[in-house]
């Protein structure tokens, strides 16, 4: 494997990898969950460098000197720089423009998208503040790796401030068709911001192609889909699919550790004594994840297959998210009500068929649940990737489980041996669940082995290496060289 002797690395995200929260026992440091943190924190601990993010924790200011601190707390390896936002900035930049505008529109939920000039002005202001802080803290000739739809103006702003930097930006969510993208009132400004990067990464080839189609509408721009290049203002911007993955070997080691293996085996013994199967779903309480549609499919399954009524335990881990946005609060309340109604209809004394965990589960326990499960259901309406699907496959060291995966999740391109599920077809979802529960053991095992071989060859380390290699390709004029391992 080739390695890069590279300049300093600066990661920029809207959310921070470590949050300091005030508690009655003092300030507690919490590592945040999520695909970006899981992917990049180990890399930053290995390489060192800088991470710029919004400081949103209640104790963040107290633990920072000059707005930065070394992390992780127990074994400091890199410097975290925090940008503090006032309530108006949080509302306009994050809750309104990002999550009530760009998020639903990019997930093709056009009727939910809301844009306003005031929200955009706050969005632009916060992107400018991120750019200034990054420009101030980034070492000379550094590589900058920024992320997602919240910071789409950042690359252009940062290039204007620090032309010595080499910039990569990764767009984690779907990129919509050109005519849908043009519904964003400031679609040209956002495209120009993104084209400030040297490398633009997307989850799928379709996303990258659709971005190039949108970029080609800018006056003076041209796109070469074959080469994956957008020509813009005398520069060549590399546009490519880099499907994000998981730490396959790390997950396999974790689920086979003594503590997690015992946890998974306890769950299996509990289920086996009752003659039950475990069906699991893990998601944020977001309307793009198909939470309510999944519950409808479970209801239809119970009506059509009454013989399974007492043979299945449904477990849903539903993590509240963006509760400052009214639509998300309403969705969570509706999901709670529907889940309670499900249990009232189908429970027998002392045994509710549906167990709901309404908060995050620590990674070790979550992987243990995945190892113990017979079926996992990912029923997203639309997803850039969905790493939960890949984590479930990686955790299945006993080759027991079946993955039901939405056709419209990015992960479906790689995990072709999953049972496809249409998120808007609850009757079909119910029959797919029946097929999963009755699938022969040999078929389940073979499907998992094929998917696991793919994840072993296309893991998280490979995703990072591909992006760093792309940065290297566009920075040959700077002081970087390839060295042997």
Please give the sequence-ordered ranges of beta strands (E in DSSP) within 246-384, or none if there are none: 277-284, 312-319, 354-357, 375-378
357 and 466 belong to one structural domain:
no
Cβ contact 114:96 at 8 Å: yes
Domain presence at residue 484: no
360 and 261 belong to one structural domain:
yes
Pull the structure tokens for residue 393: 């496959």
> How would you class 441 by CB atoms within 10 Å of its CB: exposed for 0-12, middle for 13-18, buried for 19 or more?
exposed
Pull the structure tokens for residue 435: 């097929």
418 and 338 belong to one structural domain:
yes
SS3 at position 394:
helix
355 and 447 belong to one structural domain:
yes
Q: Is the pLDDT of residue 27 over 50?
A: yes
Cβ contact 316:354 at 8 Å: yes
Domain presence at residue 482: no
Q: How would you classify the pairing of strands 481-483 and 3-5?
A: antiparallel
Tens of pLDDT, residue by residue over 226-246, are 999 999 999 999 999 999 999
Q: What is the pLDDT of residue 163?
A: 96
261 and 408 belong to one structural domain:
yes
Write phi, then psi, for 483 (nearest 5 degrees).
-125, 155
Domain presence at residue 485: no
218 and 173 belong to one structural domain:
yes
330 and 229 belong to one structural domain:
no
Q: Which helix (H) or strand (E) holds 327?
A: helix 326-346
User: Residue written as tokens 């027991």?
Assistant: 400
Tell me how many domains the chain contains. Answer: 2
Domain presence at residue 150: yes
Q: How would you classify the pairing of strands 9-12 and 235-241?
A: unpaired
Rounded Cα distance between 83 and 52, Å, is 7
Work out the pLDDT band at 348, boundaries 50, 70, 90.
confident
111 and 123 belong to one structural domain:
yes
160 and 259 belong to one structural domain:
no
Domain presence at residue 25: yes
Tens of pLDDT, residue by residue over 118-137, are 999 999 999 999 999 999 99
To the nearest whole percent, how much of the chain has pLDDT over 90? 87
CATH number at residue 173: 3.40.50.2000
Tens of pLDDT, residue by residue over 425-472, are 999 999 999 999 999 999 999 999 999 999 999 999 999 999 999 999
Write phi, then psi, for 164 (nearest 5 degrees).
-75, -15
Rounded Cα distance between 28 and 19, Å, is 8
31 and 115 belong to one structural domain:
yes
Q: Containing domain of residue 123, as a range? A: 3-244+461-477
């Amino acid at each position: 494997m080739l390695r890069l002797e590279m300049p300093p690395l600066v990661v920029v995200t809207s959310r921070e990898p470590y949050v300091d929260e005030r508690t009655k026992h003092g300030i507690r440091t919490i590592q945040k969950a999520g695909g970006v943190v899981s992917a990049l924190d180990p890399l930053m601990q290995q390489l060192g460098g800088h991470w710029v993010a919004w400081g949103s924790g209640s104790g963040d200011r107290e633990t920072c000197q000059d707005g930065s601190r070394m992390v992780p707390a127990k074994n400091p390896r890199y410097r975290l720089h925090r940008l503090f936002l006032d309530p108006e900035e949080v509302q306009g930049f994050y809750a309104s423009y990002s999550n009530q505008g760009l998020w639903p529109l990019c997930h093709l939920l056009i009727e939910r998208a809301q844009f306003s000039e005031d929200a955009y002005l706050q969005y632009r202001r916060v992107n400018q503040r991120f750019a200034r802080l990054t420009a101030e803290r980034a070492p000379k000739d550094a590589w900058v790796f920024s992320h997602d739809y919240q910071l789409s103006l950042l690359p252009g702003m940062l290039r204007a401030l620090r032309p010595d930097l080499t910039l990569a930006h990764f767009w984690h969510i779907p990129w919509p068709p050109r005519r849908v993208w043009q519904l964003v009132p400031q679609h040209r400004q956002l495209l120009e911001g993104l084209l400030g990067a040297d490398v633009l990464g997307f989850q799928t080839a379709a996303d990258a192609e659709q971005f190039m189609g949108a970029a080609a509408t800018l006056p003076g721009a041209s796109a070469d889909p074959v080469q994956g290049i957008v020509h813009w203002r005398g520069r060549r911007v590399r546009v490519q699919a880099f499907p994000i993955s998981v730490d396959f070997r790390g997950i396999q080691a974790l689920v086979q550790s003594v503590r997690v293996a015992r946890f998974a085996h306890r769950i299996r013994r509990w289920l086996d004594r009752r003659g039950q199967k475990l069906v699991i779903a893990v998601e944020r309480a977001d309307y793009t994840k198909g939470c309510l549609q999944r519950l409808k499919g479970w209801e239809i399954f119970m009506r059509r297959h009454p013989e399974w009524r007492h043979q299945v335990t449904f477990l849903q881990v539903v993590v509240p998210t963006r509760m400052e946005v009214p639509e998300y609060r309403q969705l969570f309340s509706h999901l709670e009500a529907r889940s309670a109604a499900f249990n009232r209809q189908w429970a027998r004394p002392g045994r509710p068929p549906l167990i709901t965990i309404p908060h995050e589960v620590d990674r070790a326990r979550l992987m243990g649940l995945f190892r113990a499960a017979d079926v996992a259901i990912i029923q997203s309406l639309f997803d850039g990737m969905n790493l939960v699907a890949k984590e479930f496959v990686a955790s299945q060291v006993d080759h027991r489980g079946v993955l039901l995966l939405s056709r419209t999740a990015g992960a479906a391109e790689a995990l072709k041996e999953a049972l496809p599920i249409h998120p808007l077809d609850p009757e079909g979802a119910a029959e797919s669940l029946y097929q999963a529960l009755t699938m022969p053991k040999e078929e389940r095992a073979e499907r998992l082995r094929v998917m696991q071989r793919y994840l072993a060859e296309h893991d998280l380390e490979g995703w990072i290496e591909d992006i760093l290699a792309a940065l290297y390709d566009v920075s040959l004029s700077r002081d970087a060289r390839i060295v042997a391992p």
